[in-house]
C-alpha cells in the first residue's frame, strides 16, 4: 500500500463498510488522510495507579489501574440494565460498569484474573467507579509493544467508537503503519530541513502517532506545523508577487470634484491625522496600477466609516462604482442613512440593497447598478447574490470583515473580470502575520488615534445586588437628556433561556421606568426586520430613552447621545465583544459609562476579563489579553471561519514563532525560484497548492 494515496479500506480490519464510515465521519479516505489525523493528546501508559492512589482529583482523567476481578453482577432493568465488575488490589477496591456491549464484555471477564484497566475514574459517594473502561489481561498488556509509554488519544465520534471499540483509531494506525511506512517520501528539500532543523517526514509522522519520547514528539510536531504554515506562506507570497506584477489594478489618477467638494464642504469635523494618513495610503495604492488589498484596523469609534466613504468617492471621481458591505441589516441601513445625509447636494447616486429590500427598492437598485447610474451601493450579504451585476465596480469596502466568511468575501471579489480594489475594515486588531494567514496577502493600515474631544468611557462592574443603584444611575443620565442601552447575551444553545431573561429584563425596566417619562424600546433577533428597524429608529431619533436589546447592536450602530451601556450577564461575553459593545457609547462629547452586570459567583477567567474591561479602553491591549486568557479566544473563532483551508496541527495564534520562521523561509525559497518550478522544489509546489485552498474556490487574491 502506498502513502499518501493508498485506500484505507485495504488496511486489515477495515474493509468497505468501515472505510465508508471513516470517510463519512472524519473525511478519512486514504493512508495520507489517516496519518495526518493526529492525536489531540497523549497519555502516559507507563504509569499504573493503585486503587488508593486514585483520588477524587483524578476524576475524569485517563488513568491505568492494575487489579484483580473479585466478582461480577447484573443490576438495574430495561434501559438502565448494567453489568458491574468488582476489582481490587492490595490497597482497595473499585467497580467497573458497562451499560452497553454487556454480552461481549461478560465473555472476556474471568473472576480471579488480573487485568490492566484503562479509563476515566468517577466517584459515587466516595466509591471509585470506572464506566466503560478498556481492559486487557496482564499477559496481553505485558506482551504489548510499548515504545515509550506515551499513547495518542484520537478524537472520535459516537458512531466510530461504537464500531471501532474503545481503542478505535489507535488500532487502525497500528495496522496501517507497517503497510505504508516504506513508501513515505519526504517532499521537503534537504537544504530547508537542515536550515530549519526539521526531522524527516517519516520520523515525524511516526512520532506523532507513536512518540518515542517527549522530545521526539516535540520535534515531530514542530516539523509538521512547519510544513503546514510553510504551505500557507508559500501560497500567500506567490499570490502577492502575482498581484503586484500582474498590473491589472484600476487606476484612480484623479482627485475630482466629488471628493474635493465633499472634503471642503461636507465633512462635519476635521479629520484626525490617522484618518488622513490612511486615506493617503489608499490613494497611493490606487495610482500604482496594482490591485489594492488592504486591511484597515481601527478601534471602535476611530472613524473608519469616513475613511471608507472618502475612498469610495475617489473611485466615483474616476468613473467607477463602489460598494460597501456590512454584516447586519441595521448597520447597512445606518451606513446608508449617514452616507446619503453627508452627500446631500453632491452629484452622487447612492442606493441600498439588503435581504429585506422591497421588490421596488430592489429592482431600482439592481437596474441602477447594472446601468452604472448608481455609483455607490451599500448593503448586506445581498450584495453578493448573482443577480447583482455591476457595470464597472472599482472599489469594495467590507465593514467588520470578521463577520463574513471567506467565501462571501471571495464572491464579492469575483464580481468583475478585473478585480476591484478591496478595503476590509475591522475593530478586532490582529497581528499582521496572523492577519495574512487568515485573509491572505494584504497590506495593513491602522487608525491609532481617536477623534479629539472623546472622553474615555468609565467602566464599572456591578453584581446583581447593585441593581437599585444601577437604576438610580440610569435615571440620573436620562434626566440629563441622555440615552441608555441595556444588552442581553444571546446564543443559540441557550436561546430559549436567553430570550426569557431578555423579556423579563424588558418588563422589569418598563415597570421601573414607566411612561410617559421614559420610553423603552426593545430590539432582538425574533422581531421582523421592519420592527427592528422602527425600534432602532425611535432610539436613534431620541424619542426612546432606553433600548433593551440583544447583541444585534454590537456592530457599528451610532447614536452619539447614548452615554450608558449596561451589559447584562457580562461574564458570558468574550472580551472583544464586550469592547465592541462598549464602543456604542462615548461617541459624542459627553462622559459615557459602561456597566458590566454579573452574578456574585464568577470563574477566575471571567473575573479577569471584567477587571480588564474596567481598567482599559484600549482595544489592542484587550485583544492581547484575550489571547493570553483564552489561548486564542475570539481570534480562534475567526480563524476557523476565516481560513480557506484546514490546518491539522498548526495553530497560527499559538505557533506565532513558527509562523514567522516559515514566512522567512517562504521568502527565501520564492526569491530563488518564484514559480517553484525547479525539480527539487516539486514537493514545495505541492505543499503550496495544498494550502492555497485554490481547488475549492478561486481565493487567489481574496483579502
Considering beta carbons, is residue 321 or 328 the nearer one to Mg ion? Answer: 328
Break the chain down into helix, strand, coil percent, rounded to 5: 45, 20, 35
CB 306 within 8 A of CB 343: no
Q: Provide the minimum distance between the beta carbon of 335 and Mg ion in the complex, in angstroms, as a whole number.
A: 8
Q: Is 597 helix (H, G, I), strand (E, B) or coil?
A: strand
Considering beta carbons, is residue 156 or 297 the nearer one to ligand ADP? Answer: 297
C-alpha cell at 31: 493512508
Q: Residues 206, 209, 213, 219: is their CA dihedral positive or negative?
A: positive
Q: Is 97 helix (H, G, I), strand (E, B) or coil?
A: strand
Considering beta carbons, is residue 200 or 451 the nearer one to ligand ADP? Answer: 451
Considering beta carbons, is residue 564 or 669 the nearer one to ligand ADP? Answer: 564
Write the CA distances from 310 to 57, 255, 341, 378, 661, integer angstroms: 60, 11, 14, 14, 38
Q: Provide the minimum distance between the beta carbon of 564 and ligand ADP in the complex, in angstroms, as a whole number.
A: 17
Residue 619 touches ligand ADP, criterion: CB under 6 A: no
Spatial strand order in the sheet of 134-137: 121-124, 127-131, 92-98, 82-89, 63-75, 114-119, 134-137
Considering beta carbons, is residue 211 or 301 the nearer one to ligand ADP? Answer: 301
Binding segment for Mg ion (CB under 5 A), chosen from 120-128, 143-151, 520-528, 548-556, is 548-556
How far is Cα of residue 439 from the mean position of the Cα atoms in its chain? 12
Of the residues 301, 327, 379, 642, which one makes contact with ligand ADP according to CB under 6 A: 301
Q: Torsions phi, psi of 196, nearest 5?
A: -105, 10
Judged by phi (left if over 0) then psi (alpha if -120 to 50, else beta), residue 100 lies in beta
Considering beta carbons, is residue 135 or 397 the nearer one to Mg ion? Answer: 397
Q: How many residues bind ligand ADP (CB under 6 A)?
A: 18
> Residue written as cell 421601573?
512
Q: How far apart are CA 320 and CA 323, in angstroms?
A: 10
Write the CA distances from 353 to 310, 323, 368, 422, integer angstroms: 20, 10, 11, 19
DSSP state at residue 10:
G
What is the footprint of ligand ADP within residues 415-444 (CB under 6 A)?
427
Position closest to ligand ADP via CB: 303
Binding segment for ligand ADP (CB under 6 A), chosen from 40-48, 165-173, 301-309, 480-488, is 301-309
Strand partners, 422: 293, 396
Q: Torsions phi, psi of 112, nearest 5?
A: 95, -10
C-alpha cell at 612: 480588564
Considering beta carbons, is residue 299 or 498 the nearer one to ligand ADP? Answer: 299
Length of the chain as a residue count:
703
Residue 271 touches ligand ADP, criterion: CB under 6 A: yes
- Return all residues near 386 (Cβ < 8 A) that are at least 6 apart: none
Residue 555 touches ligand ADP, criterion: CB under 6 A: no
Q: How many residues bind Mg ion (CB under 5 A)?
A: 1
Strand partners, 551: none
Of the residues 108, 139, 269, 696, which one makes contact with ligand ADP according to CB under 6 A: 269
Binding segment for ligand ADP (CB under 6 A), chosen from 80-88, 111-119, 297-305, 496-504, is 297-305
Binding track, positions 439-468, relative to ligand ADP; x by CB under 6 A: ------------x-----------------
Considering beta carbons, is residue 540 or 690 the nearer one to ligand ADP? Answer: 540
Q: How far apart are CA 544 and CA 610, in angstroms?
A: 29
- Interaction partner, residue 302 (ligand ADP, Mg ion, none; CB < 5-8 Å by kind): ligand ADP
Considering beta carbons, is residue 239 or 587 the nearer one to ligand ADP? Answer: 587
Residue 586 touches Mg ion, criterion: CB under 5 A: no
CB 424 within 8 A of CB 398: yes
Q: Provide the minimum distance between the beta carbon of 301 and Mg ion in the complex, in angstroms, as a whole number.
A: 8
Considering beta carbons, is residue 336 or 513 the nearer one to ligand ADP? Answer: 336
Residue 556 touches ligand ADP, criterion: CB under 6 A: yes
CB 200 within 8 A of CB 193: yes
Of the residues 136, 558, 590, 624, which one makes contact with ligand ADP according to CB under 6 A: 558
Residue 556 touches Mg ion, criterion: CB under 5 A: yes
Considering beta carbons, is residue 430 or 684 the nearer one to ligand ADP? Answer: 430
Binding track, positions 304-343, relative to ligand ADP; x by CB under 6 A: xxx-------------------------------------
Binding segment for ligand ADP (CB under 6 A), chosen from 37-45, 137-145, 298-306, 376-384, is 298-306
Q: Provide the minimum distance between the beta carbon of 524 and ligand ADP in the complex, in angstroms, as a whole number.
A: 22
Of the residues 482, 587, 661, 663, which one makes contact with ligand ADP according to CB under 6 A: 587
Binding segment for Mg ion (CB under 5 A), chosen from 185-193, 204-212, 373-381, 554-562, is 554-562
C-alpha cell at 325: 458591505
Of the residues 256, 560, 574, 611, which one makes contact with ligand ADP according to CB under 6 A: 560
C-alpha cell at 557: 450602530
Surface-to-core class of residue 114, CB atoms within 10 Å of its CB (0-12 exposed, 13-18 middle, 19+ buried): middle
What is the footprint of ligand ADP within residues 644-673 (CB under 6 A)?
none
Residue 489 touches Mg ion, criterion: CB under 5 A: no
Residue 619 touches Mg ion, criterion: CB under 5 A: no
Three-class secondary structure assignment of 417-441:
CCCCEEEEEECCCCCHHHHHHHHCC
- Spatial CA neighbour of 565 closest among 589, 552, 548, 543: 548
DSSP H helices, 524-567, are: 529-540
Q: Report the interface residues with Mg ion, using CB under 5 A.
A: 556
Q: Report the interface residues with ligand ADP, using CB under 6 A.
A: 269, 271-272, 275, 298, 300-306, 427, 451, 556, 558, 560, 587
Amino acid at each position: 500500500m502506498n502513502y499518501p494515496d493508498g485506500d484505507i479500506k485495504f488496511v486489515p480490519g477495515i474493509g468497505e463498510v468501515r472505510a465508508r464510515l471513516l470517510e463519512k465521519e472524519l473525511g478519512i479516505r486514504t493512508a495520507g488522510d489517516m496519518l495526518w489525523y493526529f492525536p489531540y493528546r497523549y497519555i502516559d501508559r507507563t504509569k499504573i495507579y493503585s486503587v488508593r492512589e486514585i483520588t477524587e482529583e483524578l476524576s475524569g482523567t485517563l488513568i491505568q489501574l492494575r487489579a484483580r476481578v473479585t466478582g461480577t453482577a447484573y443490576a438495574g432493568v430495561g434501559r438502565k440494565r448494567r453489568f458491574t465488575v468488582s476489582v481490587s488490589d492490595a490497597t482497595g477496591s473499585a467497580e467497573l460498569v458497562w451499560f452497553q456491549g454487556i454480552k461481549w464484555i461478560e465473555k472476556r471477564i474471568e473472576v480471579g484474573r488480573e487485568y490492566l484497566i484503562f479509563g476515566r475514574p468517577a466517584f459515587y459517594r466516595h466509591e471509585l467507579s470506572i464506566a466503560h473502561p478498556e481492559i486487557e489481561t496482564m499477559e496481553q498488556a505485558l506482551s504489548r509493544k510499548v515504545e515509550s509509554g506515551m499513547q495518542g488519544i484520537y478524537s472520535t465520534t459516537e458512531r466510530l467508537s461504537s464500531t471501532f471499540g474503545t481503542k478505535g483509531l489507535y488500532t487502525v494506525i497500528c495496522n496501517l503503519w507497517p503497510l505504508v511506512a516504506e513508501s513515505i517520501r519526504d517532499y521537503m528539500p534537504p537544504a530547508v530541513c537542515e536550515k530549519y532543523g526539521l526531522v524527516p517526514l517519516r520520523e515525524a509522522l511516526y512520532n506523532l502517532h507513536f512518540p518515542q519520547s517527549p522530545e521526539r514528539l516535540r520535534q515531530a510536531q514542530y516539523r509538521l506545523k512547519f510544513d503546514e504554515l510553510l504551505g500557507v506562506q508559500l501560497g500567500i507570497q506567490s499570490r502577492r508577487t502575482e498581484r503586484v506584477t500582474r498590473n491589472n489594478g484600476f487606476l484612480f489618477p484623479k482627485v475630482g470634484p466629488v471628493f474635493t467638494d465633499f472634503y471642503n464642504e461636507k465633512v462635519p469635523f476635521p479629520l484626525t491625522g490617522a484618518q488622513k494618513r490612511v486615506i493617503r495610503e489608499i490613494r497611493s495604492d490606487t495610482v500604482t496600477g496594482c490591485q489594492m488589498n488592504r486591511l484597515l484596523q481601527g478601534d471602535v469609534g476611530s472613524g473608519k466609516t469616513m475613511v471608507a466613504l472618502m475612498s469610495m468617492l475617489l473611485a466615483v471621481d474616476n468613473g467607477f462604482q463602489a460598494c460597501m458591505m456590512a454584516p447586519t441589516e441595521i448597520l447597512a441601513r445606518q451606513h446608508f442613512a449617514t452616507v446619503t445625509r453627508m452627500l446631500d447636494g453632491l452629484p452622487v447616486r447612492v442606493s441600498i440593497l439588503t435581504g429585506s429590500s422591497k421588490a421596488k427598492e430592489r429592482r431600482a437598485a439592481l437596474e441602477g447598478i447594472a446601468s452604472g447610474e448608481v455609483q455607490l451601493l451599500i448593503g448586506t450579504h445581498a450584495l453578493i447574490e448573482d443577480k447583482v451585476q455591476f457595470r464597472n465596480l472599482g472599489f469594495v469596502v467590507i465593514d467588520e470583515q470578521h463577520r463574513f466568511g471567506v467565501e462571501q468575501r471571495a464572491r464579492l471579489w469575483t464580481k468583475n473580470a478585473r478585480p476591484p480594489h478591496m478595503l476590509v475594515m475591522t475593530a478586532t486588531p490582529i497581528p499582521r502575520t496572523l492577519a495574512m494567514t487568515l485573509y491572505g496577502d494584504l497590506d495593513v493600515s491602522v487608525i491609532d488615534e481617536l477623534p479629539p474631544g472623546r472622553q474615555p468611557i468609565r467602566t464599572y462592574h456591578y453584581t446583581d445586588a447593585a441593581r437599585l443603584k444601577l437604576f438610580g444611575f440610569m435615571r440620573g443620565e436620562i434626566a440629563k437628556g441622555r440615552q441608555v442601552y441595556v444588552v442581553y447575551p444571546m446564543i443559540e444553545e441557550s436561546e430559549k433561556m436567553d430570550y426569557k431573561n431578555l423579556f423579563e429584563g424588558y418588563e422589569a425596566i418598563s415597570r421601573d421606568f414607566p411612561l410617559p417619562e421614559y420610553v423603552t424600546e426593545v430590539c432582538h433577533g425574533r422581531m421582523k426586520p421592519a420592527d427592528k428597524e422602527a425600534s432602532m429608529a425611535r432610539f436613534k431619533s431620541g424619542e426612546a430613552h432606553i433600548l433593551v436589546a440583544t447583541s444585534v447592536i454590537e456592530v457599528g450602530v451610532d447614536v452619539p447621545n447614548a452615554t450608558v451601556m449596561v451589559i447584562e450577564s457580562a461574564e458570558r461575553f468574550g472580551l472583544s465583544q464586550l469592547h465592541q459593545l462598549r464602543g456604542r457609547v462615548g461617541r459624542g462629547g459627553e462622559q459615557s459609562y459602561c456597566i458590566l452586570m454579573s452574578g456574585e459567583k464568577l470563574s477566575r477567567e471571567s473575573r479577569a476579563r471584567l477587571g480588564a474591561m474596567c481598567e482599559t479602553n484600549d482595544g489592542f491591549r484587550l485583544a492581547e489579553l484575550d489571547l493570553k486568557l483564552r489561548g486564542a479566544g475570539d481570534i480562534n473563532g475567526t480563524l476557523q471561519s476565516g481560513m480557506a483551508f484546514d490546518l491539522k496541527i498548526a495553530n497560527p495564534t499559538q505557533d506565532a514563532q513558527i509562523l514567522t520562521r516559515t514566512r522567512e523561509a517562504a521568502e527565501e525559497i520564492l526569491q530563488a525560484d518564484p514559480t517553484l518550478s525547479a525539480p527539487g522544489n516539486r514537493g514545495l509546489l505541492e505543499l503550496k497548492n495544498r494550502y492555497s485552498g485554490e481547488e475549492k474556490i478561486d481565493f487567489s487574491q481574496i483579502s
